[in-house]
Amino acid sequence: MSQLINSVLVLLVLTGFMLLSSSRLAACIHVVAFQGVLLGLLAILMQHGELTVTGVLLPLSTALVKGFLLPWLLFRAMREADTVREVEPLISYNLSIIAGSAVLVFALWLGQRLRLPSQPPSSLLVPAALFMSFVGMLVIVSRRKAVTQALGYLALENGVYAFGAAVALRLPVLVELGILLDVFVGVFVMGIAIFHISREFEHIDTDKFAASTDRPR
Amino acid sequence: MLFGSVLPLIVALACAPLMQGVITRTKSVIAGRMGQPLMQPYHDLWKLLHKGAVYSHTTSWIFRTGPMVSLASLLLALALVPFGGFPALSAFSGDFILLAYLMALGRFFIVLAALDTGSSFEGMGASREVTFSALAEPALFLSLAALARQTGRISISPLLTAVSWSVWAHAAPMLGLTLAALIIVFLAENARIPVDDPTTHLELTMIHEVMVLDHGGPDFAMIQYGAALKMWLFATIIVAVAVPWHSGNRWIDTAVGLAGMLILAIATGVIESSMARLRLLRVPQLLLVAIVLASLAVAL
């Protein structure tokens, strides 16, 4: 069982690197969708075999929302904004991978230092969760397109979800559903915002927002 | 006992070109062609050995030394790698560093020979070869380090023999990552398709073949044979990790090892048929991914 959990965690870390190294938005969305499905799988694996109805339905709804619904929204936003790839990120892809490995080392170090109230089932769980959050932040600050930044936000949120799974083995159902709803609404709003931005300015390059001020330049 | 240790070397010397033949054959079958005979690499080597060598006036003794040093260093490196149930001819602690540097030495002399011709085209190929191998080397080292950490051995031969199904059972993610990194290194070091196209000879994007354009006859035969041996060496390491078959009977293990090599050759052919070569700018990214995979395997 711990082998399975470890395999899922390693796959999660690898999806983080894929997100950092891929320039195609469609590929990035698929990666984040896959992350969502993996998170659902992880949550089911963490139940130690004692499967309850809510214990299966909650991860399943997580996987459905994060793996299918949100990617669908993002695909729509991508189509409407008419962007296919991230051009010229602030940090190049090779440098992003190197930064990713540095972040991984930091996450591993921090994961060992961190004292948790309960022992997580795998020593890799906390580092992997931290790594995913850091990768999300890295993507948000280093990419220019709004869709990619929304993807970074989702990766960050996935990391938080995994961390939650590590710290509290069972959150109250309402809290989990609330978080899921929050993320859903967040991405929904972002999708609408991206659509409106791209209709108004004919691109979704957030760097150019600085130009749209009243101040004389 | 000594015979048993010489056997991996004999198998490598005899079968290495065949592996290239299998890859080429797989590619032609997938492309719907008859393809060249499986034994074609041997015929090529035989033909080259019976030709005379032509040397340019601008080259020096370095140009003639290159192929010999390269082949010799690969032969030495092969003596460190076990095959099937048989241990390597020589094993001492830390010999995987020697293995990596023997291959680097061979490469260094090929690069020198390429630069010695004074051809700008070959200089370009040399520059690319060195750049990419510099990135492939950490990946190889980290993969071997991950295996060493898992098995507790720091010598190639015991290390590869120590990988078993029970190691797979309790460290599957780590071995999987190592294997993925090793396969990327295998493809990059042997100039296979996502990195380099071994079938093109006069194209500006190629890496390995461009360095050896001026070699002819027996020199070229040595380089070709050396390339086959290098591929065999990397394939041996991959097969030893992927199919750790230790039944007790060494002959059965060796047969399983040979079957693994055949499957790896076919898999390489399939990869080459189903992928396009990466743009040169993307190759470092692929190798960086290999480094990341291997370092993750070390961290696990």
Q: Tell me which of B30-34, B120-124, B137-141 is least confident.
A: B120-124
Q: pLDDT digits over A9-46, tens only? A: 999 999 999 999 888 889 999 999 999 999 988 888 88
3-state secondary structure (DSSP) of residue A205 = strand
Do the Cβ atoms of B284 and A14 come within 8 Å? no
A118 contacts: CB under 8 Å, gap ≥ 6: A167, A169
**B224: which 2 tokens?**
């070709």
Q: Which residue of chain B comes nearest to A18, CA vs CA?
A: B289
Whether the CB of A41 is below 8 Å from some CB of chain B: the reply is no
Confidence of residue B204 (pLDDT cuts 50, 70, 90): low
Q: Which of A6, A101, A108 sits opposite B173 (nearest CB)?
A: A6
B47: pLDDT strictly greater than 80: yes
**What is the rounded distance in angstroms from the CA atom of residue B114 to the CA atom of residue B220?**
12
- Average pLDDT in the B177-188 region? 94
Residue of chain B whose Cα is closest to the Cα of A13: B296
In a mutagenesis test of the B interface, which of A1, A6, A20, A130 is the best target, namely the one with the most B β-carbons within 10 Å?
A: A6
Query: In the predicted model, what is the mean pLDDT of chain A?
Result: 83
Q: A17 to chain B: which residues are within 8 Å by CB?
A: 289, 292
Predicted confidence (pLDDT) at residue A119 exceeds the cutoff of 90 = no
Which of B278, B283, B292, B293 should one mutate to test binding to chain A, selecting the residue with the greatest count of A CBs within 10 A? B292
> CA of A204 to nearest chain B CA: how many angstroms apart?
26
Report yes or no on whether pTM surpasses 0.90.
Answer: no
Q: Do B288 and A94 touch (CB under 8 A)?
A: yes
Mutate to test the interface with B, among A4, A18, A24, A94 (most CBs of B within 10 A): A94
Residue A197 has pLDDT above 90, yes or no: no
Top-confidence residue, B172 or B262: B262
Mapped onto helix, strand or coil, the DSSP state of residue A168 is coil
Question: From the CB of residue B254, how many other CB atoms can be counted at a distance below 10 Å?
Answer: 19
- pLDDT-derived band at B46, boundaries 50, 70, 90: very high
Q: Answer for the pair A47, A39: CB distance below 8 angstroms, yes or no.
A: no
Residue type, B125: G
For residue B258, the model assigns a pLDDT of 93
Going by pLDDT thresholds of 50, 70 and 90, the confidence category of residue B199 is: confident
Q: What is the rounded average pLDDT of the residues A163-189?
A: 74
Residue in B with minimal Cα distance to A17: B289
Nearest to B154 by CA among B97, B100, B94, B83: B94
Residue A208 has pLDDT above 90, yes or no: no
Q: Who has greater pLDDT, B235 or A193?
A: B235
pLDDT band, residue B181 (cuts 50/70/90):
very high
Least confident interval from A51-55, A213-217, B271-275: A213-217
In this predicted structure, the answer to whether residue B226 has a pLDDT above a threshold of 90 is yes
pLDDT score recorded for residue A214: 64
Which chain B residue shows the shortest CA-CA distance from A8? B173
Q: What is the pLDDT of residue B164?
A: 87
Provide the pLDDT confidence category of residue B148 given band limits of 50, 70 and 90: very high
Q: Are A128 and A5 in contact (CB under 8 A)?
A: no
Whether A212 has a pLDDT exceeding 70, the answer reads: no
| pLDDT > 70? residue A80 | yes
Q: Tell which B residues from 168 to 187 touch A, by Cβ distance under 8 Å.
A: 169-170, 172-173, 176-177
ipTM value: 0.75
Question: Coil, strand, or helix at residue A214?
Answer: coil
Does residue B114 or residue A122 have the better pLDDT?
A: B114
pLDDT band of residue A168 (cuts 50, 70, 90) is low
pLDDT over 70 at A123, yes or no? yes
Quick: pLDDT tens for B234-251: 999 999 999 988 887 888
Q: Residue B269 corresponds to which tokens in the numbers above?
A: 């052919």
pLDDT score at A47: 75
Give me the percent of chain A exceeding a pLDDT of 70.
88
Question: DSSP characters for A18-83?
Answer: HHHH--BHHHHHHHHHHHHHHHHHHHHHTTTT---HHHHHHHHHHHHIIIIIHHHHHHHHHHHHT-
Q: Domain residues of chain A, as ranges?
A: 2-211
Residue A213 has what pLDDT?
65
